Chain A
Amino acid sequence: MSALVSVFSRDVELAFRAGGGAAQGAVFFGLVTVMFVFGTGPEPGALARVAAPILWTGALLASLLSLDRVFQADFEDGSLDILVQRTETLEFLVLAKAFAHWVGAVLPLLVITPVLAAMLNVEAMWPLLASLLVGSPALSLIGAIGAALTFPLRRANVLVTILIGPLFAPVVIFGTGAAADGALGAGFGAPPLMLLAAVSLFSLIVAPLAGAAAIRFNLQ
């Protein structure tokens, strides 16, 4: 357990160091959103309607930026061998790494979301934030599967996007649905938010199993 905590805290520390990617992802997220604002034009009400899809897509793209490095950075400097050799249950290692990615790469996106949402004239802020908070762990978890499959390959970034992108579809569909429902006054028990939570919980089970199998295969 303390081994997993040490891996988690080391990964988070590295993410927030200079060049670690936490700030880069947040800046990228902001940039994508601003481009949408420029592209949509000044028509009143137009931005608010597409705000949730824009923010969800932007968060998804920004999280993809760092996903390929989840295991690759450790593979390249030899620390993946160390972690795998030390860990008896590889599934928990995948979980710790995915959770560290969420804290180090996705949480900064959620922190700046209120600012970006205000820029997009979003009025129902809480439903949007709730949908991101409930759904975004699935991005890190499903993404960890892609990272575990591709870490020995060069230019894994594009491959992770191609492999994992389609699996993100349910997250975006239910995520934007939950934000829209919430804006209309639905409570926290509304179906889209519940389905979004189900996707996150499902990936919480599947990602460690699939990720650990992929790492074992790749190190063989």
Chain B
Amino acid sequence: MPSGPPRITMTARGVAGARGGRPVFEGVNLSLAPGEAVVLRGANGAGKTTLLRILAGLAGPSAGAIEFDGPDMNGDPPTAATASVYLGHLDGAKGPMSVDRNLAFWAQLYGRRGAPFDDVKERLFLSDLGRRPAATLSAGQRRRLGLARALVSGRPVWLLDEPTASMDSPSAARVAEIIQAHCASGGSALIATHEPMALAGERAFRMAAIGDAP
């Protein structure tokens, strides 16, 4: 990323979330400034995924508001759709399509058609897998392909749900490096994980479900 992504600050104020109609958490105040990496911690069921989906705009909060502040993107104020990229539990790669074709599709989807992704593949140890159908990749390889989408998207705010799940330790370390580099260039990342993340200057945000002791 030569010039770095646009500098966007994401702020959640008093956000409450529900899963399947049941309230899970409330009163979440969280701010993610450019250059920041925040690790979202909490027990199973504390609402980490629910919060990430709400921040990504995939679900509405039951209370509170989410704001994206920063320079206009393509002439409009930034929104979750234009400023953030969400990596869920599933990688979203199409099994019958090759790794290269999946990357090319994402590049076009995020309006970055023609962006070279040899560098992205190299950083995520995918260089030799370009022609392989995504369905034939191992779980860890698929996860790396999923994360490649965040790099391809060019979005400043990364919302990552268990990004290192099923990865071996060199891959997980590389993911930490990539997140670090993204933040160093002015991007930001919110990472829900149970694994230790070796991020310099990371900040942890603890979540507790309603009724659980924090």
Which of A's residues lie within 8 Å of B, judged by CB? Answer: 2-3, 5-7, 10, 13-14, 17-20, 76-79, 81-88, 219-220
Contact = CB atoms under 8 A, between A and B. Distances in A.
A77 B95 contact: yes
B108 A6 contact: yes
A7 B108 CA distance: 9
Contacts of B28: none
A219 B56 CA distance: 12
Contacts of B81: 85-88
B186 interface: no
Contact of B59 (A13, A79, A87, A219): A219
Contact of A86 (B88, B110, B113): B110
Given A3-B108, A6-B108, A14-B97, A77 B60 contact: no
Nearest to A219: B58
15 contacts: A2-B113, A3-B111, A10-B97, A14-B94, A14-B96, A18-B96, A78-B91, A81-B88, A85-B57, A85-B85, A86-B81, A86-B109, A87-B81, A88-B79, A219-B58
Contacts of B82: 88
Main secondary structure of the interface of A (DSSP, over half): helix
Most interface-central of B57, B89, B109, B111 (chain A CB within 10 A)? B109
A87 B81 CA distance: 6
Give the contact-size bracket for chain B. Answer: 20 to 34
B92 A82 contact: yes
Contact of A81 (B92, B93, B96, B106): B92
Interface string B67-81: 000000000000111
A2 B86 CA distance: 20
A187 B202 CA distance: 72
Contacts, number: 72
Given A3-B111, A86-B109, A88-B82, A220 B96 contact: no
B109 A6 contact: yes
A203 B109 CA distance: 26
B109 A220 contact: no
Contact of A78 (B80, B84, B89): B89
Most interface-central of A3, A10, A14, A86 (chain B CB within 10 A)? A86
Contacts of B111: 2-3
Contacts of A6: 105, 108-109
A2 B80 CA distance: 19
Among all A-B residue pairs, the 5 with the closest Cβ atoms? A78-B90, A6-B108, A78-B92, A79-B92, A82-B92
A75 to B, nearest CB: 9
Given A2-B111, A88-B82, 20 more contacts: A2-B108, A2-B113, A5-B108, A13-B97, A78-B90, A78-B91, A81-B56, A81-B88, A81-B92, A82-B92, A82-B149, A85-B57, A85-B58, A85-B81, A85-B85, A86-B81, A86-B109, A86-B110, A88-B79, A220-B60
Contacts of B79: 88
Contact of A3 (B84, B93, B96, B110): B110
A81 B56 CA distance: 10
Contact of A82 (B59, B89, B109): B109
Contacts of B89: 78
Contact of B88 (A18, A19, A78): A78
B185 to A, nearest CB: 21
B20 to A, nearest CB: 9
Contacts of B80: 85
A19 B94 CA distance: 13
Nearest to B82: A88
Contact of A84 (B58, B85, B94): B58
A219 B82 CA distance: 19
Contacts of B105: 6, 10
A86 B82 CA distance: 7
